[in-house]
DNA sequence: GACCTGCTGCGGCTTG
């Protein structure tokens, strides 16, 4: 029997109504993988490749054709990382389920309590929910979980790739696990994604006990033709006489804005500017260019600090084919919210990961016969005598090239699987105790570690965490006479507040208000005062009043302004990306997608790289007491070595694949320090400040636990030790050769 | 040298 015939009649009718000539291969594969089996399944296809239907056509059929395990409860559970995505998918599923008369229930923070209480009284159909709302159900209604999910056939995880490596992903795996323990049944898991770097690790995420049994349904190669141009621009330094032309504004940003304005006007596009500050800067310039020509506005900023109203306005304009719209944005427009297809994706500066570049490009070329177009812009510094080697090697441009090359090879960053996730573990200990009204240490360990996602935590470490959060000054948990663990004084306070359900940290912010209307938010660490001017939401403002206690800033329209500071963490670059960068630096081929200026910059970078023989000498003297070490590694290993060197009094700065070391304050020679590191088994002794508190529940952990947590993911000791001996060996070879 | 995501229950009010 073919795939279509195996579906329940209401779904066959729905497919006919859609006017589809046939099912797509990935949908046929999904139907065959799911119907009549208990398989866990991963479905990967390009954005808008029909993944949702590939999963839900057979899953809904299964609900209609087979008897449920119990009379009440949700038949299917869909978990989405965004409220907007849940709203989109609710509409699609309602359409698909109408004929089948199956209820579709959206559930997140913006959904009214009426919908929720009705669904709790008579749970059935498809539940679409966020990880946080699901956590809230477990914590608030722990005793109802077995009833609510006792009939659930499958859990569908949308945008699986965003969950693999993150704190939220660990929480979600724990929730799926807790659901199976509460209902006493194994529940099928179906993951959907457009960009999975390593399907092996995705399988492991989905079902750790049996990753090999997870069935993979892959759509055959996307098909859209890929067009790319990389344009290089110069900034700073002395502008040569012949380049000083009539135009007032010679900055690279102005030139890029002008090019974007000319190329993108009249169609729908996305411009990824790299940071919220840069988004504001380019949106402002593009608006001014339009106003100068008396043209209607079509360039708008979009990022997470802007008000919901403004963001929804921009998203709606993007969906509307009749109004040309370009959004200058951050990764807010990277995920699967349906904004239709855009003509071109522009990227200013090199992205941090190939995975996000791929995700962004998935937004363009979605209509048959239309290419997917990338316009990459890169600004480099004009070189002077005193210019730094990182500028001479044109590392920004080289990284942009490496990213495009890796994208063409279809390589994406894999998730790291060794992380301990102690912050999230603390959260889940509190959550499980709240869900069950108390738990023994043994039961907790089985639920969370031996059977759960914290498998890297052994019993010794687990007990150390319990002791730490049970200590009298932390008081998150306490133990009763019969050995059962309960929430402590502080633990109860945390769990009672609604801010408990999310496992990730969010900064404190000011609200920006103009005449009673919210424009958006700004991190509180901005240094602002009345009279100062800023660019925000694509317009210029003057600060009128600051209300510290209410965290409100009142503003009024202004003619001047600069983008405010939005803060942020340093990005993380994978080893493979840095390796590719060195391949580019050492290579000869000039990619055809470089403009003349970019090609000249690449030639210059290669010339400077060859001149300093950085490929040959791993340690290059760059001044009287400064050196450049070529680590040829990504930021985790490079950071670890830099931290270890810092322990010896060296001052360090980090670049892609390089560490600059200043030896002035150091107690010993650089080579001797490297030798000591190379001989070590552990580096912890050398760190000066290796207790970073970056995650939400880190403040409750001890220095020792924080260091173990950092070493499991943000630092790589063995990698750094190996790197130190590798660098030494190559310098010794070099010395021998010179003799 | 960065980006993003999420949130309950209840008291008290108005309105039909």
Q: Provide mean pLDDT across the span A81-103.
A: 93
Q: What confidence tens digit (pLDDT) does each residue in A396-408 have? A: 999 999 999 999 9
Predicted confidence at residue A247, as pLDDT, reads 46
With a cut of 50, say whether residue A705 has pLDDT above it. Answer: yes
Average pLDDT, chain A: 91
Structure tokens at A699: 């403040």
- The answer to whether A392 CB sits below 7 Å from nucleic acid chain B is no
Predicted confidence at residue A667, as pLDDT, reads 80
- The answer to whether A134 CB sits below 7 Å from nucleic acid chain B is no
Structure tokens at A313: 């306005």
Q: How confident is the model at residue A249 (pLDDT cuts 50, 70, 90)?
A: low
- The answer to whether A277 CB sits below 7 Å from nucleic acid chain B is yes
- The answer to whether A689 CB sits below 7 Å from nucleic acid chain B is no
Q: Please, what CATH class does the domain formed by A226-240+249-382 belong to?
A: alpha beta
| Among the four given CATH numbers 3.40.50.740, 3.40.50.720, 3.40.50.300, 2.40.160.20, the one describing domain A3-218 | 3.40.50.300
- The answer to whether A166 CB sits below 7 Å from nucleic acid chain B is yes
Predicted confidence at residue A688, as pLDDT, reads 58
Residue the block writes with tokens 């296809």: A45
DSSP A513-563: EETTEEEEEEETTS---TT-EEEETTEEEEEEEEETTTTEEEEEE-S--B-
Distance CA A295, CA A234 (A): 29
Whole-number distance in Å between A513 CA and B11 C1': 29
Distances (CA, A) of A635 to A150, A576, A654, A683, A695: 45, 11, 8, 17, 19
Determine which of A86-100, A145-159, A380-394, A685-699 has the lowest per-residue pLDDT on average: A685-699
Predicted confidence at residue A234, as pLDDT, reads 93
Question: Considering chain A, what percentage of its residues have pLDDT values greater than 90?
Answer: 71
Q: What confidence tens digit (pLDDT) does each residue in A104-136 have? A: 999 999 999 999 999 999 999 999 999 999 999
Distances (CA, A) of A114 to A84, A148, A366: 20, 17, 38
* Protein residue at shortest CA distance from C1' of B3: A331
Cα A63 versus chain centre, distance: 34
Q: Provide mean pLDDT across the span A592-604.
A: 97
* A186 three-class SS: coil
Residue A566: nearest nucleotide (C-alpha to C1')? B2
Q: Provide mean pLDDT across the span A18-47.
A: 92
Whole-prediction pTM value?
Answer: 0.92
> Pick from A666, A194, A184: which is nearest to A412 by CA?
A194
- The answer to whether A444 CB sits below 7 Å from nucleic acid chain B is no
Q: How confident is the model at residue A248 (pLDDT cuts 50, 70, 90)?
A: very low
- CB within 7 A of strand B (chain A, 356-385): 356
> Pick from A346, A330, A340: which is nearest to A363 by CA?
A340
Q: Which of A4-18, A230-244, A357-371 has the highest mean pLDDT?
A: A4-18
Predicted confidence at residue A239, as pLDDT, reads 64
For strand B, the positions having any atom within 7 A of a protein Cβ are: 1-10
Q: What confidence tens digit (pLDDT) does each residue in A430-476 have? A: 999 999 999 999 999 999 999 999 999 999 999 999 999 999 999 99
* Protein residue at shortest CA distance from C1' of B1: A570
- The answer to whether A75 CB sits below 7 Å from nucleic acid chain B is no
Q: What confidence tens digit (pLDDT) does each residue in A219-233 have? A: 765 567 899 999 999
Q: Provide mean pLDDT across the span A43-58.
A: 87
Predicted confidence at residue A245, as pLDDT, reads 47
Q: How confident is the model at residue A556 (pLDDT cuts 50, 70, 90)?
A: very high
- The answer to whether A654 CB sits below 7 Å from nucleic acid chain B is yes
Predicted confidence at residue A461, as pLDDT, reads 98
Predicted confidence at residue A53, as pLDDT, reads 95
- The answer to whether A81 CB sits below 7 Å from nucleic acid chain B is yes
Q: What confidence tens digit (pLDDT) does each residue in A577-588 have? A: 999 999 999 999
- The answer to whether A89 CB sits below 7 Å from nucleic acid chain B is no
Beta bridge pairs of residue A655? A658
Predicted confidence at residue A127, as pLDDT, reads 98
Q: How confident is the model at residue A642 (pLDDT cuts 50, 70, 90)?
A: very high
- The answer to whether A573 CB sits below 7 Å from nucleic acid chain B is yes
Do the domains spanning A3-218 and A226-240+249-382 agree at the CATH topology level? yes
Going from N- to C-terminal start, the domains of chain A cover: 3-218, 226-240+249-382
Q: Identify whether the C-beta of residue A546 lies closer than 8 Å to the C-beta of residue A528.
A: yes
Exposed, middle or buried: residue A542 (CB in 10 Å: 0-12, 13-18, 19+)? middle
């Amino acid at each position: 029997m073919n795939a279509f015939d195996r579906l329940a009649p209401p779904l066959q009718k729905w497919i006919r109504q859609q006017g589809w000539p046939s099912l797509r291969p990935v949908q046929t594969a999904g139907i065959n993988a799911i119907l009549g089996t208990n398989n866990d399944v991963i479905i990967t296809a390009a954005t808008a490749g029909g993944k949702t239907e590939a999963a839900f056509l057979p899953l809904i059929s299964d609900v209609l054709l087979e008897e449920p395990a119990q009379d009440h409860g949700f038949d299917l559970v869909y978990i989405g990382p965004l409220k907007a995505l849940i709203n989109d998918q609710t509409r699609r599923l309602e359409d698909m389920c109408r004929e089948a008369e199956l209820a579709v229930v959206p559930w997140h923070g913006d959904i009214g309590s009426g919908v929720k209480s009705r669904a709790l009284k008579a749970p059935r159909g498809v539940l679409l929910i966020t990880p946080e709302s699901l956590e809230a159900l477990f914590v608030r209604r722990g005793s109802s979980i077995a009833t609510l999910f006792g009939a659930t056939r499958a859990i569908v995880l949308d945008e699986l790739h965003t969950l693999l490596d993150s704190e939220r992903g660990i929480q979600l795996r724990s929730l799926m696990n807790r659901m199976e323990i509460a209902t006493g049944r194994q529940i099928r898991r179906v993951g959907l994604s457009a960009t999975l770097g390593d399907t092996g690790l995705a399988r492991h995420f989905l079902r750790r006990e049996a990753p090999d049994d997870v069935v993979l349904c892959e759509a055959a190669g996307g098909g859209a033709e890929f067009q790319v141009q990389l344009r290089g621009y110069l900034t700073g330094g002395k502008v040569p006489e012949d380049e000083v032309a009539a135009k007032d504004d010679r900055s690279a940003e102005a030139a890029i804005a002008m090019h974007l304005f000319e190329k993108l006007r009249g169609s729908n596009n996305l411009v990824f500017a790299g940071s919220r500050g840069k988004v504001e800067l380019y949106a402002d310039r593009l608006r001014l260019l339009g106003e100068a020509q008396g043209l209607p506005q079509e360039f708008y900023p979009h990022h997470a600090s802007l008000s919901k109203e403004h963001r929804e306005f921009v998203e709606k304009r993007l969906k509307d084919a009749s109004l040309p719209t370009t959004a200058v944005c951050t990764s807010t427009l990277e995920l699967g919210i349906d904004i239709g297809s855009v003509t071109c994706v522009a990227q200013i500066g090199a992205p941090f990961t190939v995975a996000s570049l791929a995700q962004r490009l998935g937004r363009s070329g979605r209509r048959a016969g239309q290419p997917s177009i990338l316009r990459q812009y890169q600004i480099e510094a004009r070189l002077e005598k005193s210019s730094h080697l990182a500028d001479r090697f044109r590392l920004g441009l080289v990284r942009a090239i490496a990213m495009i090359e890796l994208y063409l090879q279809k390589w994406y960053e894999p998730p790291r699987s060794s992380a301990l996730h102690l912050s999230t573990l603390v959260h889940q200990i509190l959550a499980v105790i709240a869900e069950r009204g108390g738990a023994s240490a043994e039961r907790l360990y089985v639920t969370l570690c031996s059977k759960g996602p914290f498998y890297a935590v052994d019993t010794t470490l687990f007990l150390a965490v319990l002791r730490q959060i049970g200590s009298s000054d932390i008081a998150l948990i306490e133990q009763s006479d019969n050995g059962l663990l309960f929430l402590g004084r502080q633990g109860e306070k945390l769990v009672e507040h609604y801010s408990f359900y999310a496992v990730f940290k969010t900064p404190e912010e000011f609200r920006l208000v103009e005449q009673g209307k919210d424009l958006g938010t700004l991190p509180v660490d901005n240094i602002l005062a009345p009279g100062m001017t800023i660019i925000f939401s694509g317009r210029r403002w003057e600060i009128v009043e600051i209300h510290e206690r209410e965290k409100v800033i009142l503003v009024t329209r202004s003619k001047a302004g600069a983008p405010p500071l939005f803060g942020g963490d340093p990005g993380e670059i994978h080893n493979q990306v840095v390796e590719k960068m060195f391949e580019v630096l050492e290579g000869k081929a000039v990619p055809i997608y470089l403009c003349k200026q970019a090609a000249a910059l690449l030639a210059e970078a290669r010339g400077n790289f060859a001149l300093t023989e950085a490929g040959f000498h791993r340690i290059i003297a760059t001044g009287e007491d400064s050196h450049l070490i070529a680590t040829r590694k990504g930021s985790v290993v490079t950071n670890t070595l830099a931290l270890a060197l810092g322990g010896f009094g060296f001052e360090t700065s980090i670049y892609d694949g390089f560490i600059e070391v200043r030896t002035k304050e150091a107690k010993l020679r650089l080579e001797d320090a490297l030798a000591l590191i190379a001989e070590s088994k552990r580096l912890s002794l050398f760190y000066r400040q290796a207790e970073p508190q970056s995650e939400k529940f880190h403040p409750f952990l001890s220095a020792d636990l924080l260091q173990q947590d950092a070493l499991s993911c943000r630092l790589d000791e063995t990698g750094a030790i190996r790197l130190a001996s590798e660098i030494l060996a190559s310098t010794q070879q070099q010395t021998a050769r010179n003799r």
